[in-house]
């Protein structure tokens, strides 16, 4: 029997709305914080036993309808030898940012079995322990990965990356194409090991105008999703602040479009069209609000998607570290109740 989550992703009939949360494993959990006292984030990703334990935590605690591999979008970049570290409360920092065509050579082709054997090993172990619950594999989108490589770390303006895009479109495209290979190869390895769906986190594409997105990024994403098709697992394409890009993202070829909370889900669904499923879109900060507020917002989303095939309930971005676990448990219950038998 195909899982509820995969059926929703492929716009089949479901008995209720499936729910999972981006960053459902992380610092909001006391158990995770305890593990992090002895191990670094990337160490956890490289140790299949610990990775399995961390990935399964939220499934057991919250009763979500899907697990997501505990990893990071920077894992395959490090696996091909780029010196990148994750700095606490800052994010990924690249020791020597990419600035010229000579830097392209630093991004060799990923060979998952050799460069990151722990990824497939963790996926296999997690899938074996999950039973009927599907596992989502993921990767960063080429543009979002490029943002760290070119800017050297997190950015607000992305002026270096955009500068490269406008001044040397050839080099920008060559960089995105190499990262597209990395994304596809990393995702293919996860699907081969048993991942039931694949999500591309292109978190920072919302910094682009629709015109620049269509011209410089969309063709690369169409290529990525076309190459993933043969894996026969549903694909999800997610970004933040994408209200201006939804029509274009719907043309990427992904089965599901993830949306944040800055657009009403009914409007997002209209603009994405009926041929794609939609995932989202509760404001993660709402989980710090009183329960009544959470319930009202969650019901509004479920009701707005009632009668539309293909909705996966999620937050509009990752769970915040300050979130009380109890609020997430309650939210799962509310989504179940509100969508059941409707």
- Residues in touch with ligand CP3 (CB under 6 A): 22-27, 36, 41, 68, 70, 72-74, 86, 88-89, 91-92, 138, 201, 203, 318
Whether residue 32 lies in the annotated active site: no
Report, in Å, the least distance between residue 140 CB and ligand CP3.
6
Whether residue 27 lies in the annotated active site: yes
* Nearer Cβ to ligand CP3 (129/168): 129
Whether residue 160 lies in the annotated active site: no
* Nearer Cβ to ligand CP3 (130/338): 130
For residues 296 and 292, give the distance between their C-alpha atoms in angstroms, rounded to a whole number: 6
Report, in Å, the least distance between residue 319 CB and ligand CP3.
8
* Nearer Cβ to ligand CP3 (35/174): 35
Which of 16, 32, 72, 213 is the catalytic position? 72
Which of 23, 178, 271, 276 is the catalytic position? 23
* Nearer Cβ to ligand CP3 (77/294): 77
Report, in Å, the least distance between residue 159 CB and ligand CP3.
18
Q: For the chain, how long is the longest CA-to-CA vector?
A: 58
Whether residue 226 lies in the annotated active site: no
Whether residue 148 lies in the annotated active site: yes
In which residue are the tokens 């699907």 written?
Answer: 191
Report, in Å, the least distance between residue 76 CB and ligand CP3.
12
Q: Which residues are catalytic?
A: 23, 27, 36, 72, 148
């Amino acid at each position: 029997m195909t899982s509820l989550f995969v059926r929703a992703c492929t716009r089949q009939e479901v008995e209720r709305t499936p729910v999972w949360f981006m960053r459902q494993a992380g610092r909001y959990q006391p158990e995770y914080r305890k593990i992090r006292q002895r191990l670094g984030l990337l160490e956890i990703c490289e140790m299949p036993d610990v990775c399995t334990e961390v990935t399964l935590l939220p499934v057991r605690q919250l009763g979500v309808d899907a697990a997501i591999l505990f990893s990071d979008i920077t894992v395959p970049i490090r696996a091909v030898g780029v010196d990148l570290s994750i700095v606490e409360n800052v994010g990924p920092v690249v020791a020597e940012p990419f600035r010229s065509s000579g830097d392209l050579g630093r991004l060799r082709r990923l060979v998952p079995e050799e460069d990151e054997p722990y990824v497939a090993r963790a996926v296999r172990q997690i899938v074996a322990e999950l039973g009927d619950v599907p596992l989502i594999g993921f990767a960063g989108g080429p543009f979002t990965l490029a943002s760290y490589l070119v800017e050297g770390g997190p950015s607000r303006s992305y002026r270096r990356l955009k500068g490269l895009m406008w001044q040397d479109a050839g080099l920008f495209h060559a960089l995105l194409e190499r990262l597209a290979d990395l994304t596809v190869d990393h995702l293919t390895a996860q699907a081969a090991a048993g991942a039931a769906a694949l999500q591309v986190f292109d978190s920072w594409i919302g910094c682009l105008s629709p015109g620049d997105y269509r011209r410089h990024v969309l063709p690369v994403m169409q290529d990525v999703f076309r190459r993933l098709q043969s894996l026969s697992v549903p694909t999800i394409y997610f970004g933040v602040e994408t209200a201006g890009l939804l029509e274009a993202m719907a043309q990427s070829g992904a089965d599901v479009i993830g949306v944040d909370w800055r657009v009403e889900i009914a409007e997002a669904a209209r603009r994405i069209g009926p041929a794609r499923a939609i995932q989202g879109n509760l404001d993660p900060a709402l989980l710090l609000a009183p329960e009544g507020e959470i319930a009202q917002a969650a019901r509004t989303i479920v009701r707005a998607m009632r009668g539309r095939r293909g909705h996966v309930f999620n937050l509009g971005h990752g769970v915040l570290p300050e979130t009380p676990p109890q609020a997430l448990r309650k939210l799962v219950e509310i989504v179940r109740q509100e969508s059941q038998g409707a």
